[in-house]
Amino acid sequence: MNVELTASLSPAVFVPAPSAFDLDVAFGITVAIKVAFILALFLVVPLVVGYMEHKAMGRLQHRRGPVAAGPFGTLQLVADGIKFIQKEDVIPAAADRKVFALAPGLALVPAILVFLVLPFGPGVWAVDLELGLFYALAISSVSVLGVMMGGWASANKFSLIGGLRAGAQLIAYELPLILAAIAVAVQAGTLSLVGIVEAQATFTLPGTDLNLWFVFPQILGFVIFFLASLAELSRPPFDMPIADSELVFGYMTEYTGIKFAMYLLTEYAGMVSMSALMVVLYLGGWQLLPGVGLPGCEGAGGMFDCGWLGAIGGVVITLAKILILTFIMVWARVAYPRLREDQLQRLSWLVLVPLSLINLAVIAIAKVVVF
């Protein structure tokens, strides 16, 4: 294979977009700053989303939600955290102690690692991977391993069934999730999440100057991705692995205290990272409205190379979009009863997978013919 052929087949060499945290200092300090940034995001945003869920669920159910801890109950989850730490750490006698102890951590760590590639604003990301989308989907799938380990190690039939349901659910819904994401990657022409945001900022309806987010051509893909991510996260109405009316509390039945809290945190962090992925893939990232740039930004579509004002504005917009998406998840939780296990599998294999294949085919053809 000669050099020219290689050059013509392979796309331009990927140059990662620089992060705002890539300061001109020692490598170790840069890494420390990025780790601190990711941990801060990981600890704060799920807490905010959790408070929002408490409050929104309360109001949707004609209640008030938390009111006692802190002003308007804002410190409820902090109080819950303190309570979880104080709880006795019970391990069942028949449990596989090591696996039992390891499982919540194994579920939690991938939830943190997803934040590594998520762009929250212009320059506000830890690292821009060439395989960013692949990385995010692959890492988020590892969480289910922790769930299955917990279900197995608890030596409890409810836990085991919960863990197995989680595994079955992952297999069923990973497929439509990835197929929908592939359609986005095909349209954007890149797997880098920053690249996808840039592609959306510069994508115009063919024949016009009208800037569009990917949600408009791919509304079907967006709906599939949303439903599949709900199922991935075991959020109601797809919470069969927990199914408290059938399985006590599924794979979490035997867990107490801080380990239980880690599973809960995994769920909320998953809500945030999946919503952030949806924002990046379909909702134009930190763009306020299609075609509207950020103040002080010069890069593609007025979305990049910003000052600190634009960066903060971008982060605020992204977080607002995440909050709206998570609110819709809560809304669906309140409105809908849980699906039956067979209905869940039927929905995935007979509805979502064929639809996502059609979506992918249409987008691929359109990419060649129209866009």
Partner 1 sequence: MAATSPPGVGLLKGLGVTIKHLFKRPSTQMYPNERPDLPPRTRGVIALLEENCTVCMLCARECPDWCIYIDSHKETVPPAKEGGRARTRNMLDRFAIDFSLCMYCGICVEVCPFDALWWSPEFEYAEYDMDKLLHEKEKLREWADTVPPPPPLDEGALPVPEVAAAIDKVVKERELEEAKAEQAARDAELAQAAPAAAPAAAAAKAEEIHVEAGQIDQETFDALIAQGKSERMARAKAKAAYVKKEKARILAEQEAAAAAAPAAPKAEEIHVEAGQIDQETFDALIAEGKSERMARAKAKAAWVKKEKARIRAEQEAAAPAAEVAPAEVAPAEAAAVEAPPAAPAAEAAPARKLSDVHVEGSGEIDQETFDALIAEGKSERIARAKAKAAWIKKRKQEQLDAEGDA
Residues near partner 1 (CB under 8 A) are: 56, 58-64, 67, 331-332, 334-336
DSSP state letters, 113-154: HHTTT---BTTBSS---TTHHHHHHHHHHHHHHHHHHHHHHT
Residues 6+ apart with CB under 8 A from 117: 125, 126, 127, 128, 129, 132, 135, 136, 193
| CB-nearer residue toward partner 1: 334 or 364 | 334
Q: How far is the CB of 335 from partner 1 (least distance, A)?
A: 4
| CB-nearer residue toward partner 1: 117 or 352 | 352
Q: How far is the CB of 228 from partner 1 (least distance, A)?
A: 17
Strand partners, 124: 121
| CB-nearer residue toward partner 1: 318 or 326 | 326
Q: How far is the CB of 339 from partner 1 (least distance, A)?
A: 12
- Supply φ then ψ for residue 367, to 5 degrees: -60, -40
Residue 140's nearest CA partner among 34, 273, 286 is: 273
The helix or strand, by DSSP H or E, that contains position 209, with its residue range, turns out to be none
Q: How far is the CB of 150 from partner 1 (least distance, A)?
A: 31
Q: How far is the CB of 327 from partner 1 (least distance, A)?
A: 10
Q: How far is the CB of 247 from partner 1 (least distance, A)?
A: 24
Answer whether 233's CB lies under 8 Å from 74's CB: no
Q: Name the one residue in this structure whose structure tokens are 């279900």.
A: 151
| CB-nearer residue toward partner 1: 64 or 97 | 64
- Going from the C-alpha of 349 to that of each of 168, 226, 234, 343, the distances in angstroms are 12, 16, 17, 10
| CB-nearer residue toward partner 1: 91 or 334 | 334
- Supply φ then ψ for residue 124, to 5 degrees: -95, 75
| CB-nearer residue toward partner 1: 55 or 165 | 55
| CB-nearer residue toward partner 1: 63 or 157 | 63
Residue 193's nearest CA partner among 279, 258, 256 is: 279
Q: How far is the CB of 333 from partner 1 (least distance, A)?
A: 10
CA pair distance 95, 100, nearest whole angstrom: 7
Alpha-carbon Rg for the chain, nearest whole angstrom, is 21
